[in-house]
Structure 1
Amino acid sequence: MTPAPAVFCLSCGALAFEILLVRVLHIIQWHHFAFMIISLALLGYGAGGTVLAIVQNRLLDRFPFAFAASAVGFSLSSLAAIALAQHIRFNPLEMLWDPGQLGRLFKVYLVLSLPFFFAASGVGLALARHRGRIHRIYLADLLGAGTGAAAALGLLTTFSPTDSIRIASTLGFVAAALGLFDPSRRRTLLYLAGLAGCALLWSAAFPHALLAPRVSEYKGLSMALRTPGARILEERHSPLGWVVLVESPKVPFRIAPGLSLACDAPVPAQLGLFIDGDGPIPVLARPDRSESTAYLDCLLTALPYRLVADPRVLVLGLGGGTDAVLAHRLGAASVDAVETNADLLELVRKASADDAGSGASWLQRTHIRLGEPRSTMERTSKTYDLIHLSALGALSGSAAGAHGLSETYGATVEAFETYLERLAPGGFLVVTQTIALPPRATLKLVATVLSAMERTKTPHPRQRLAVLRNWNTALVLVKKGVITESESAAIRSFSEVHSFDLVFLPGIESSEVNRFNVLERPYFHEGVRRLLEKDRDTFLRDYPFDLKPATDDRPYFFHFFKWRAFPEFFALRRRGGLPLIEWAYPVLAATLGQAALSSVVLVVLPLRFLKRPKNRSEGSLKRRAGPYFLCLGLAFLFVEIAVIQKFILLLGRPIYAMTATVAPFLVCAGLGSGFSKAWASRVAGVHRFFEGRAIGVTALLVGMIVLSAALLLPELVQYLMPAPAALRWLAALGIAAPLAFFMGMPFPLGLSLLSRRAETLIPWAWGVNGCASVLSAVLAMVFAIHWGYRAVLVSAAMLYLVAAVLFWNED
């Protein structure tokens, strides 16, 4: 057989399956659970390498059939694993009071590890069988993985996630066919025909009901569809998400965040939009009828239109269009809007059309730009009188802690600096925020705004800030200028008429707060006052929730968890205290513990079954090889994840960032692997000092490059954000390509050394590297939450330097 094409196809299928599985699990649960489960599923790579290290002699004697069996195993298990995993009743919301959920989580990622186990076994077998061509096999592996990443995104533009997985699963059969292909054998064509038939039968005939994502019963879509008469009107799939438009005629949606309880205008029946099962986002039917939108006058967001006449308005996040309809109703001179998802916009157009099918006039009068709000703002110099950042955290999951690990680049200090720069003199930044008790998101929002004003050296920040609330929504107003006495009077009058509570206003008295939606204490007012005082740092340190402002380096706005408060909140979990726990981070910590334990069980303990080293030199090599490949596995994914996060800012959409990182990263790393043998020869020829030190020198060089990236990449991305799209794409490729090229060299150089001196350790080293990748994905998240992504890159550089020390001298 020719191993490289077969390895290419198998790696292509495995990486495509990984990305598509993330999409499916994002729909089923919340996105960080998909991220963690995928990380743990990659334990299959470690398990595959370890098993090969023990039984490789038996398998290598029948290599073509063993490889084909591994490839077919990947295809068969990829579909079966999804079906089995969905039958395990895992509910992350119950983990803090039901220890049995940890066992179910373990079962889920154990099942999902099976496809990766078979893929890793096939690639590991090829590496062990063709020791003299390790650099070429690794090149094929990385090129295949890079192609799989791009192919997954391409599939998602045309097919649903489950149909895309069906297609990706067939690549295992293709790899098996290539592995068995031998023109000199008569039975080859028979094998190929049989495998082709199996591929078509397995992919096409696998029951759709077993593969279709079963959305968590605690997500908004599942709850909405349990309402009698509720039905899905339209749905769209794309790499940006699964968008669903739902009608509930018997119990209509009537959603109006920030509505005054004193409002006498009825909220009309609405349609509900759901993205990946989260929502609903309200969509008004026939919103141009004035009688149907009268209730909008009673929303908190109507206040700015009492302060600015004929404003030029920008809505960041069109959603269902409520803020844009409000702007037109209350006399905006012009309305611009930014929306990320074209599918969402299409469904809003259909829902808003009149009986004749004509487009709604409010949409025709709104200038809509597709793109991420943050990156769009960076690329415009236009100024506005009102900038709406709508319903920050309004999706149902955020209140329960489900979005605690979601990056939110639109709510960082740097983002608010940009928003304030785009305000015209006298204009207002308008931010609405779903509130929870005790206060956390609202206070973090105020802390972030204050930090942005301090970094831009804005004078008298407390004179520019106003905060109001009702029972479930807070409104934060930030003026580009000092709030005047007449504006303060208008704000007081508006809050009095609509029974909204003042939280903060320049010159506010304690008797003016907590009057209508009465709390036991004026918690919001007290919190904002403390944030405005000189001892803000003390308040942030002592508060039971993490209120430190989010930044581009730590973009986790909805992360509020503090370990110090966990015991107290955990004791209250059976008395309604679950929302206090912010459970996403504890689950992340538990996942990391399970990953570490599983890695030890699957990699370290099985080493007892390996043959003892033949001599002292081989024993020394074995003791260094484990930490070396562990460092490489940790560092590679550290860099990849950090670069993806930075490219989200640069390119505007997460899906683009993944495309511009994963595919070129793996392809260029593969090219670096292919060049590694020639590189080692050139290093040795530079000077006598470098003879026998090619691995150490290469790892040292990579460490220095990564360290440079940690220092320069954030500033470079910020500098490039206003550039045209084509230039930003070229810049992303120009950054990723050389970085990945050199990162692709240390691994094959290490394997080549093992092939010369301890060939039985090759599959084990492959497994150690795979298990390190499992830990790396979760550790990168932990590091980023606490210290930021620059710290993740610095840690990766240090790991490469440790690897350089371990193999500085190859003797």
Structure 2
Amino acid sequence: MPAIADPDLTTESKSEISDTTLMAGLGLTSFAALLLELGLTRLFSVVLFYHFAFLAISIALLGLGAGGVFAYLLKPQLAKIETRTLASRLCTGNSILIVAVLEIVLHVPVALDVAAKNFFRLSVLYLAAAIPFFVTGLLFSLIFARETRRIPRLYGADLCGGALACLAIVPLLNWLGGPNAILVAGIALAGAGMLWSDTRRARQQAALVAATLVLLTAANYSGRLIDVVYAKGKFRDPAWVEFARWNALSRVEVDNQGQAKVIVIDADASTYIMNADLSRWHGTAWERALMSAPPALANVLRPHGEFAIIGPGGGVDVLRAVANGSPSVTGIEINPIIATTIMRGRYADYSQHLYQRPDVHIHVTDGRSYLRATPQNFDVVQMTLVDTWASTAAGAFALSENNLYTVEAFEEYFNHLKPDGMVAITRWEFRQPREALRVVSVAMEALHRLGIANPARNFIVAAQGPLNEDGIPVLVLAKKTSFTPQEESAVAAHLANYPALHLLYSPSTPESKTLTASRVRTGTTSPP
């Protein structure tokens, strides 16, 4: 690189920097930079949208690259400053910049609207978040250019710092939360500023910044000082929030919405905490509300069946299954904040100890992993709106691939059913159907692999109203055996009692003109 070969930029420090100072300072700076990048990924998934989460990677690349270019362009001016002096100033100043960036990220509302002001806000957020990486790129370029004799060890220190950040991010998110994990990156940079300092005054200044950030992190442990202000372009009123906690998976809060309490995940997905009295279920508003939803058809057809519910959240499906007579309900919830902290801890009394009933068995793990490991078979394997409407509408996941809707996953679901069991999947649907079609296509391919040549009679599809707008829940019921006339009659009787439910397909309604019905009748498995 020209920057490395240029004599002005590679001017050696007047005093040799010890290996310990150089490696520790560079490693701690690398740790802070990667910790900031990973922390922003988690933060962006809350304040923006899932498909914006990896924006943090491009921000880091932009900043680091721009910092290197800046170091080359201003090499005569930078060459006049001692390495340790410059590194100390950059790290200490950068630790303060991180706090400013955190405030900008939390206070700038960015929505999905295609509008000039929205584009401007996203640009402000993008450029502001790139500044700390710009400073880091500037520092790294100078260090590597001036210390060419120790390049192998510098790379080793850089990699060690980054590796430690990867190890630290999960426990930091679990213990301190998203904003505080960003503050820890600032503390690390202030610590690096202390290591780089070659004067007592500079060391004291860096120590003061580090101590201030430590106190700020401790004071913000509950999230009352620095937390999400705008998310998905909307203001998050603190008056709503009764409880909020972060972990490596998500930010979970409990909002007070009138007389109801709602679990809100990443300021997007929501699930009501059930507090119905099961001894007074019949004829209540709870029964009318829960049985008028599409997933209730699984309870109509298997009222006394054993249920495996993936992603039970606040217990909607669990309550419906128990209330209808299920002797055993297995809930598989991946987020320990929801399953343990909220439903079996802080809000156990409010939820009538639903998750602590002897007929309810909650497991905190991944749904597919649990099913793959358990020898138990179920009458119903159920997933209800596991994905949020916003992420479904966006059409992408940035943090992880959703492996709940693969052909292999459906094979596992079918293999863990009793002989006459069923899979019940509820998805958000669009005016032009696509999500229910995908579920049908994947389920049909899984059934084909299990040796069922023509599964047209193995499906029932129902929606919560006509598909005349986006965001309508649609239920897909799939079995390894055909639905019987008695089962279809039970569905028809339930729909007659709850006219808001619309039947999109059943084996005895071949006249249906919906795309879903066409997909089932023709047996095609390719996605739309």
Q: Same fold by TM-score, threshold 0.5 exceeded?
A: yes
Larger helix proportion, structure 1 or 2?
A: 1
TM-fit CA distance, 1:481 = 1.3
Residue 321 of structure 1 and its aligned partner are, at CA, apart by 0.6
Map 1:132-531 → 2, pairs under 5 A: 132-181=149-198, 188-201=199-212, 204=215, 211-216=226-231, 218=233, 222=236, 225=237, 231-249=240-258, 252=259, 270-291=260-281, 292=284, 293-295=286-288, 296-308=290-302, 310-345=304-339, 346-350=341-345, 353-354=348-349, 359-360=353-354, 363-393=357-387, 395-398=388-391, 400-401=393-394, 407-471=401-465, 472-499=472-499, 500-510=501-511, 513=512, 522=513, 525-530=514-519
Q: Deviations over 1:455-494 (max 9, x none)?
A: 3332321121111122132211111212222222222332
Q: Identify if the C-alpha distance between structure 1 residues 380 and 60 changes in structure 2 by more than 3 Å, giving closer, same or farther.
A: farther
Query: How many residue pairs were aligned?
Result: 491
* Aligned residue identity for 2:287: A
Identity %: 25
Q: Which residue of 2 aligns with 1:7?
A: 26
Instruction: Quote the Cα distance in structure 2 between the aligned partners of 1:37 and 1:104.
Output: 16
Q: Is the 8 A contact 1:413 1:449 kept in 2?
A: yes
Q: 2: distance between equivalents of 1:48 and 1:240?
A: 32
The answer to whether the 8 A contact 2:37-2:56 is kept is no
Q: Which residue in 1 is equivalent to 2:146?
A: 129
Which deviations, in whole Å up to 9, do the C-alpha atoms of 1:371-428 show, x marking residues without a partner? Answer: 11122222223211111112243x3414643756563111122211111111111111
Could you tell me how far apart the structure 2 residues matched to 1:311 and 1:452 are?
Answer: 23
Name the CA shift for 1:328/1:84 in 2 (closer, same or farther; >3 Å): closer
Compute the displacement of 1:301 (Å).
Answer: 2.6
Q: Please, which runs of 5 or more residues in structure 2 have no aligned partner?
A: 1-16, 466-471
* Per-residue deviation, 1:454: 2.5
- Offset, 1:202: 5.4
- Equivalent AA in structure 1 for residue 342 of structure 2: L
Q: Give the match's secondary structure for 1:102.
A: helix
- Is the CA contact (8 Å cut-off) linking 2:378 and 2:417 kept in structure 1? yes
Match of 1:28 among 20, 38, 47: 47
- Quick one: distance in 1 between partners of 2:104 and 2:524? 54
Question: For 1:260-307, what per-residue CA distance to the aligned partner results, in whole angstroms no more than 9, with x for missing partners?
Answer: xxxxxxxxxx32110121132111124434235422344333323343
CA distance in 1, matches of 2:321, 2:94: 54
**CA distances 1:171-213 after superposition (whole Å, capped 9, x unpaired):** 11221222235xxxxxx44432232123223564699788432
In 1, Cα distance between equivalents of 2:524 and 2:338? 44
Normalised by the length of structure 1, the TM-score is: 0.57
CA distance in 2, matches of 1:354, 1:411: 34
- The residue identity in structure 2 corresponding to 1:76 is I
Compared CA separation, residues 352 and 110, structure 1 to 2 (3 A): closer
Kindly indicate whether residue 45 of structure 2 is the aligned counterpart of residue 45 of structure 1: no
Q: What RMSD over aligned residues (CA atoms) do the two structures have, in Å?
A: 2.8
Letter in 2 for 1:82: L
Structure 1 residue 104 displacement after superposition: 3.2
**2: CA distance, partners of 1:422 / 1:462:** 21
The alpha-carbon distance between structure 1 residues 391 and 290, as it changes in their structure 2 partners (threshold 3 A), is farther
Alpha carbons 1:24, 1:162 under 8 Å: kept: yes
The reply on whether 1:66 has 2:71 as its aligned counterpart is no
Going from structure 1 to structure 2, the CA distance change for 1:287 and 1:344 (only over 3 Å counts) comes to farther
Amino acid at match of 2:421: G
Measured in 2, the distance between the counterparts of 1:422 and 1:48 equals 55
Change (3 A) 1:304 1:84: closer
How many angstroms does 1:107 deviate by?
2.4
Hey, what's the Cα distance between the residues in 2 that align with 1:215 and 1:330? 40
1:702: which partner in 2? Answer: none
Give the Å deviation of 1:447.
1.6
Partners of 1:392 and 1:431 within 8 A in 2? no
Give 1:100 shift: 4.5
Is the strand fraction higher in 1 or 2? 2
Give the corresponding residue for 2:3.
none
Per-residue deviation, 1:72: 1.9
Q: Deviations over 1:129-188 (max 9, x none)?
A: 11121111011011001112222222222213222222220211221222235xxxxxx4
In the alignment, the residues of structure 2 paired with residue 121 and residue 5 of structure 1 have an alpha-carbon distance, to the nearest angstrom, of 18
1:110 lines up with 2:127 in the alignment: yes
1:533 is aligned, of 500, 522, 525, to 522
- Give the AA of the match of 2:206: L
Distance in 2 between the 1:352 and 1:360 partners? 10
SS at match of 1:303: helix
Specify the code of the residue in structure 2 equivalent to 1:130.
E
Cα offset for 1:94? 1.6
Aligned counterpart, 2:10 = none
> What one-letter code is carried by the residue in structure 1 that aligns with 2:312?
L
Q: Does the C-alpha gap of structure 1 residues 212 and 246 become closer, same or farther in structure 2, counting only changes over 3 Å?
A: closer
